[in-house]
Amino acid sequence: MRPTGIPGVFRENNKLFTENLESCRGIQVYNEKLVSINDKELRSWNPYRSKLAAAILKGLKNINITSKSEILYLGAATGTTVSHISDIVKDGAVYSVENSPVALKQLIKLSRKRHNIIPIMADASHPEKYSHIVPHVDFIYQDISQRNQADIFIKNVDRYLKKAGYGIMMVKARSIDVSLKPKDAYDMVINKLIEHKVKIIKTIDLAPYEKDHVSIMISL
Amino acid sequence: MLYLITKWFGTFLHDGEKIKKQIVFPKDEEEIVKRLIKIDRGEILPEEWDICRDVTDDVIVNERRLQKIGMFFPSNLFFKKLDVDPNSFGFSIDLLNRVSCLLAEKKTRERLMAEDIQIIQMVNALDDLIQTCNLFSERLNHWSLVSTSEEKISSFRNIFDSVKKEINRLEKQIEEDMKRIAPNISRVVGPLIGARLIALSGSLEHLATLPSSTIQILGAEKALFKFKKDGGKPPKHGIIFQHPLIYRSPKAKRGKIARKLAAKISIAAKADFFTKKDISDLLIADLNRQIGVIKNQ
Ligand SMILES: C[S@@+](CC[C@H](N)C(=O)[O-])C[C@H]1O[C@@H](n2cnc3c(N)ncnc32)[C@H](O)[C@@H]1O
């Protein structure tokens, strides 16, 4: 087991782990393995369930998140990835936006155990609706598989991302346009980001963990 | 010029350099949630009125709901830079965590109920209309037998036609909504019977937790009650009798088929409510196979 350069994230061969929150010892979120090493408890991070884990295994070295970061997460679903980010930003916060009430029910349960998750029931395409809760953040994460996800991402970056902030967008080619080749769908998204003065840092294909998906890392 | 900004912990007037005036909310999650719900509904908080009272400067706001208090400039650049730190007012992330859990819980409950209530109301309205339509058609028949002039009947006939149109419209709407909210149920028994099952059980959530033996006889409560009181035969099927798989089958096989269908509806309801995965292809294939076996017995 060795550190990855990302605080709170460890690696053994092709397996990733995050250090469990002190207050959540012994609690699994999605049946992941718990491992105790020295005085730490580590949770295995499944790249087939979480695209961020896939991106890290595929070579994303610096995600520019520290233990104090404040993150805006769009498309939190039931909180699989959110829980690992919550491990990483143990002294920060994950503002987790999700608009499906059924998914949110489970996310709320998770948030009751994890003090740094702020669950928000809202549509990410109306960022003004959560401005009373969300502050300016260090990082914006988006995984919503919607055709207009680039527009939604830009609106949120514009409103909430700090000047020196970063972000990641997970893009599924099929949700952008089924009739396009994946490469062309990604280019469409990337061009839209560049048009809005967002800088592209790195694009990573998530195969074999996800088919026809990329992660796009950006900064302002 | 003053900028009015409201956050989950209070409302503030900012002059561009520093906060000039502030009213912080009570450090209590229920109190804060009450205010956030008001904001969600587009209302103005008493604190927001109060903070602007006796202020002589122009007040600028970036929320439409605050238009009555100040000038609405949604894209004013200053708001983009402006942020107020909750910690400096003694509000912790732990409190926000509790606030947001409570608020999200209320909102999810409302949303889930709202969707079910819509469907249930539409199904009830549909049944009212169908009943009305039957009454009208009977009346029209009788009337035209004895009537000497078509003219007198025609305006009544117009109402009858619009009732029929409304039935069509409602059915389409229910189908559309059901396919979105409950795609699995819609495939397995059809959106209309599915909607009636939701109406009979009270909500999709409740339907998803019912045993399939109960789903099988939903809508046959009267018959079940009679059976419990007077004995005789228990009902074999409720509303699902309206499905052609059952009413087109020989009487002797209806009970068995109803049981298989109800079992699939139960799985479909669980998938629709809990996992939201579309597993209807699997369910239909499995059901068809089971029914093939029963028919060949
Ligand atoms: C692929 S799932 C996210 C999985 C999650 N990020 C994880 O790794 O654990 C996409 C989620 O985005 C949500 N979603 C889609 N459109 C949205 C919108 N406009 N606003 C908020 N959430 C949205 C969906 O309800 C769904 O739960």
* CATH code of the domain containing B205: 1.10.246.90
- What's at B44, amino acid-wise? I
Indicate the residue type of A218.
Answer: I
Residue B41 maps to a domain: yes
Q: How confident is the model at residue B150 (pLDDT cuts 50, 70, 90)?
A: confident
Residue B198's nearest CA partner among B187, B210, A71 is B210
Task: Answer whether B197's CB lies under 8 Å from B185's CB.
Answer: yes
Distance in angstroms (rounded) separating the CA atoms of residues B288 and B24? 63
- What are the helix (H) ranges across chain A? 51-57, 80-88, 101-113, 149-160, 173-176, 182-195
Instruction: Compute the distance between CA of residue B240 and CA of residue B28 in angstroms, rounded to an integer.
Output: 50
Q: What is the pLDDT of residue B153?
A: 86
Query: Rounded distance, CA A98 to CA A72, Å?
Result: 11
Which residue shows structure tokens 């998140």?
Answer: A65
Number of domains in chain B: 2
User: Whole-angstrom Cα distance, residue A114 to residue A93?
Assistant: 10
Please, is B199 exposed, middle or buried when counting C-beta atoms within 10 Å of its C-beta (0-12, 13-18, 19+)? buried
pLDDT value at B166 more than 90: yes
Tell me the whole-structure pTM to 2 decimals.
Answer: 0.77
Distance of CA A71 to the CA centre of its chain: 9
| Same-domain status, B192 and B271 | yes
Cβ pair A121:B107 closer than 8 A: yes
Where b means 16+ CB within 10 Å and e means fewer, B108-122 reads: beebbeebbeebbeb
- Provide the domain limits for residue B70: 2-91
d(CA A9, CA A81) in angstroms, rounded, equals: 13
Q: Whose CA is nearest to atom 7 of ligand 1?
A: A81
- Angle of helix B191-201 relative to helix B251-270, nearest 10 degrees? 70
Count interface pairs A-B at CB distance under 8 A. Answer: 69
| Residue B123: pLDDT band with limits 50, 70, 90 | very high
Any domain includes B98: no
Q: What is the pLDDT of residue A94?
A: 98
Q: Write down which residue in B31, B59, B91 finishes a domain.
A: B91
The A9-12 sheet, strands edge to edge = A2-3, A9-12, A15-19, A40-45, A34-37
Pocket test for ligand 1, best of A98, A110, A156, A172 (most atoms within 8 A of CB): A98
User: Which CATH number goes with the domain that contains B43?
Assistant: 3.30.420.220
B96 occurs within a structural domain: no
Q: With beta carbons under 8 A apart, name residues in chain A contacting B107.
A: 101, 121
pLDDT of residue B144: 86
CA-based nearest distance B50→chain A, Å: 18
Helical spans, DSSP H, in chain B: 29-40, 46-52, 77-81, 93-146, 150-181, 183-189, 191-201, 204-209, 212-217, 221-230, 244-247, 251-270, 280-296
Mean pLDDT of B90-109: 96
Distance CA B60, CA B64 (A): 11
With a CB cutoff of 8 Å and minimum separation 6, the contacts of B107 are: A101, A121, B40
Residue B105 gets which letter from DSSP? H
Structure tokens at B216: 């099988």
- Mark whether B224 and B133 lie in a shared domain: yes
- Looking at the fold, whether B127 and B191 belong to one and the same domain comes out as yes
Task: Tell me what percent of the residues of chain B surpass a pLDDT of 70.
Answer: 100
Domain assignment present for residue B146? The answer is yes
Q: Which residues of chain A have pLDDT under 70?
A: none
B7 → closest Cβ in A115, A118, A132? A132
Task: Pick the closest to residue A218 from A198, A196, A204 (CA basis).
Answer: A198
pLDDT averaged over every residue in chain B: 92
Burial of B150 (0-12, 13-18, 19+ CB in 10 A): exposed
Q: How distant is the Cα of A169 from the closest Cα of chain B, in angstroms?
A: 22
Q: For residues B118 and B112, give the distance between their C-alpha atoms in angstroms, rounded to a whole number.
A: 10
* Residues in contact with ligand 1 (CB, 6 Å cut-off): A 50-51, 75, 77, 80-81, 97-100, 103, 123-125, 143-146
- Are residue B283 and residue B191 in the same domain, yes or no? yes
Residue B100 lies in a domain: no
Is B70 in the same domain as B131? no
pLDDT at A34: 96
Asked if residues B200 and B239 have their Cβ atoms less than 8 Å apart, the reply is: yes
Chain B residue numbers with beta carbons less than 8 Å from the beta carbon of A112 are 101
The pLDDT value recorded for residue B11 is 98
B157 and B278 housed in the same domain: yes
State how far the Cα of B8 lies from the Cα of B174, in Å rounded to an integer. 38
Task: State the average pLDDT over residues B106-114.
Answer: 88
Residue B23 shares a structural domain with residue B150: no
* DSSP assigned state of B296: H
Q: Between these two residues, A127 and B233, which has the higher pLDDT value?
A: A127
Q: Is B97 part of a structural domain of the chain?
A: no
- Which tens digit of pLDDT belongs to each residue from B41-84? 999 999 999 999 989 999 999 999 999 999 999 888 888 888 99
Domain shared by B128 and B152, yes or no: yes
CA distances from B264 to A217, B210, B251, B270 (A): 44, 12, 21, 10
Adjacency order of strands within the sheet including B10-14: B19-24, B10-14, B2-7, B59-61, B71-72
Do B206 and B85 fall into the same domain?
Answer: no
Q: Are B65 and B181 contained in the same domain?
A: no
Residue type for position B81:
K
Same domain (yes/no): B171, B287: yes
Last residue of a domain, one of B47, B68, B91: B91
User: Which of A100, A104, A121, A126 has most ligand 1 atoms within 8 Å of its beta carbon, as the pocket-test mutant?
Assistant: A100
Give residue A213's Cα distance to chain centre.
14
Using CA positions, which residue lies closest to atom 15 of ligand 1? A144
Torsion angles phi and psi, residue B4, rounded to 5 = -100, 125
pLDDT given at position A45: 97
Query: Using alpha carbons only, how large is chain B's radius of gyration in Å?
Result: 29
Instruction: Single out the residue in B91, B122, B147 at which a domain terminates.
Output: B91
The answer on B124 and B72 residing in a single domain is no
B249: left (phi over 0), alpha (psi -120 to 50) or beta: beta
Q: In chain A, which residues have their Cβ closer than 8 Å to the Cβ of B63?
A: 128, 131
Q: Which residues of A touch B8 (CB under 8 A)?
A: 132-133
Task: Tell me, yes or no, whether B73 lies in a domain.
Answer: yes
Q: How far apart are CA A33 and CA B233, in angstroms?
A: 53
> Could you tell me the pLDDT band of residue B223, with boundaries at 50, 70 and 90?
confident
B99 falls within a domain: no
